[in-house]
Amino acid sequence: MLTLEVIPQVYQLAFRYANVFLIVEDSLTLIDTGYPGNTKSLVGFIHKLGRSPEEIKLIILTHNHLDHTGGLAALRKLTSAKVAAPQIDFTLGKDIFPYPGPKSLGKLMKAPILSSIRNRLVLSAKTPDVLLNGGEILPVLRGLQVVPTPGHTAGSISLYAPQRKLLFVADAINKRHGLHLPLKTATTDINEAIASIEKMTQLDVETICFGHGRPITEDANGRLESLLEKVRN
């Protein structure tokens, strides 16, 4: 596990190149939960801070992909935290599958022989305690705004803390050797992804945190503008 204090009170924990973010205030908040199997390391880090996993009161899922939701089941055994997640990704219906592919893929994954695979890859509509549609302000970091940024999945959200000028984009931007659109092989709608990047450029941002890779802490708005110009061309 690689750990980094992004800004005071906000920690990035990387497990198998998937990031989990821990926000340390009077209570603890998690953004995403990473792959299955990382809970022991996460709990160990929380203990090193002198805190307890029972203090996790809110878990926010940015989208319904295994590398962001896989640790949730184990965490629910340790904490009574509420789980907030984008409604679109979790209530699209059984015929919809939040991974790229033909529209028939969702129906195909319902087949009994494939149902166990589906259940491992995506969480059901029963998972969230709170469904997010965008525009909500969560009681974290003096007001954490839910920003719909579809494209990678239909329901993908980003999270913006204007008081800290901090933006969590999850997989809405691919940060690997620079900033790029999310990977086409794992994205449902590239045109929506471009529109979501344009939306991000309207925010006043100093720090950007990603689902994979290290954060950006310099010229964040300029980097977003450059990315938008590149993908438009």
Burial annotation 16-36 (CB, 10 A radius, 16+ → b, else e): eebbbbbbbeeebbbbbbbbb
Q: What confidence score (pLDDT) does residue 107 get?
A: 52
Sign (positive/negative) of CA torsion 171, 174, 180, 183?
negative
Confidence at residue 96, expressed as pLDDT on a 0 to 100 scale: 61
Cα-Cα-Cα-Cα dihedral sign, residues 229, 181, 33, 216 = negative
Question: pLDDT value at position 93?
Answer: 54
Q: Burial of 206 by CB count in 10 Å (0-12 exposed, 13-18 middle, 19+ buried)?
A: middle
Domain 2-232: homologous superfamily in CATH: Ribonuclease Z/Hydroxyacylglutathione hydrolase-like (3.60.15.10)
Ranges of the chain with pLDDT below 50: 102, 104-105, 108, 113-114
pTM value is 0.90
Whole-angstrom distance, CA of residue 118 vs CA of residue 120: 5
Question: How confident is the model at residue 56, as a pLDDT?
Answer: 98
Q: What is the dihedral of CA 44, 46, 50, 55, to 10 degrees?
A: -130
CA dist., res. 201 & res. 92, Å (int)? 28
CA of 98: how far to CAs of 33, 47, 163, 219, in Å? 18, 35, 32, 32
Dihedral sign for Cα atoms in the order 184, 188, 191, 193: negative
Sign for the CA dihedral angle at 31, 37, 41, 43 comes to: positive
Predicted pLDDT at 101: 53
- Domain map of the chain by residue range? 2-232
- Supply the pLDDT for residue 104: 46
Q: Would you call 204 exposed, middle or buried from its count of C-beta atoms within 10 A (0-12, 13-18, 19+)?
A: exposed
